[in-house]
Amino acid sequence: MEEHEEAVFRILRYLKSSLGKGLFFKKSEQRGIEAYTDADWVGSITYRRFTSGSVHLFGQNIVTWRSRKTKCLVRSSADAELRSMAQGICEMMWLKRIMEELRKPITLPMKLYCDCKVVISVAHNAVQHDRIKHIEIDRQFIKEKIKEGQVCMPFVPSKH
């Protein structure tokens, strides 16, 4: 309980010190959630970890972004991309729930943009492959959200 109180006080101190600052959110008729995810597999030869990044938009406004070095090792760049996408979908589902609580329904499906055609194909593929058993939970989660119509995954080239 004390940890939570300290966290609340820390947030309040931050807000008090940043009066007059804020984010501008452009009014838009668009009510969709979009996300871009990417992963850099073994970008650090020293630590052998992958870096995951994502940005989430509501309408035309960026509402969350993240870039972090993960704690786990992965076997390939496709594994890293798939894990990054699963985390991105979790964040999208969280944003969707917040908007529902605020009584601001969103347009479905939410769009998760990815620059890896192989991973998009693996996420849609219903066949179990021996080569992807170790990432099956993330793949199954993504496939379920696609099947429910919650998420779609358009391809976007890295240069865009």
Q: Where are the alpha helices (DSSP H) in 18-149?
A: 77-101, 117-124, 136-147
pLDDT per position as a tens digit, 62-91 = 888 888 777 766 666 777 778 888 888 999
pLDDT per position as a tens digit, 78-128 = 777 788 888 889 999 999 998 899 888 888 899 999 887 877 877 777 555
| Predicted TM-score of the model (pTM) | 0.73
pLDDT at position 123 is 75
In eight-state DSSP terms, residue 134 is G
Segments making up each domain of the chain, as ranges: 30-152
pLDDT band for 139, please (50, 70, 90 cuts). confident
pLDDT band for 47, please (50, 70, 90 cuts). low
pLDDT at position 66 is 85
Cα–Cα distance for residue pair 100/147, rounded to 1 Å: 21
Tell which CATH classification among 3.40.50.300, 3.40.50.1980, 3.30.70.1900, 3.30.420.10 matches the domain 30-152. 3.30.420.10
Cα–Cα distance for residue pair 158/143, rounded to 1 Å: 23
- CA 121 to chain CA centroid, Å, is 18
Residue 55: strand, helix, or coil: strand
pLDDT at position 128 is 53
Name the residue with tokens 């940890």: 3
Asked if residues 114 and 80 have their Cβ atoms less than 8 Å apart, the reply is: no
C-alpha closest to that of 117 among 158, 151, 146: 158
Region of 103 (left: φ > 0; alpha: ψ -120 to 50; beta: rest) is: left
> Under 8 Å CB-to-CB from 6, ≥6 apart: which residues?
none
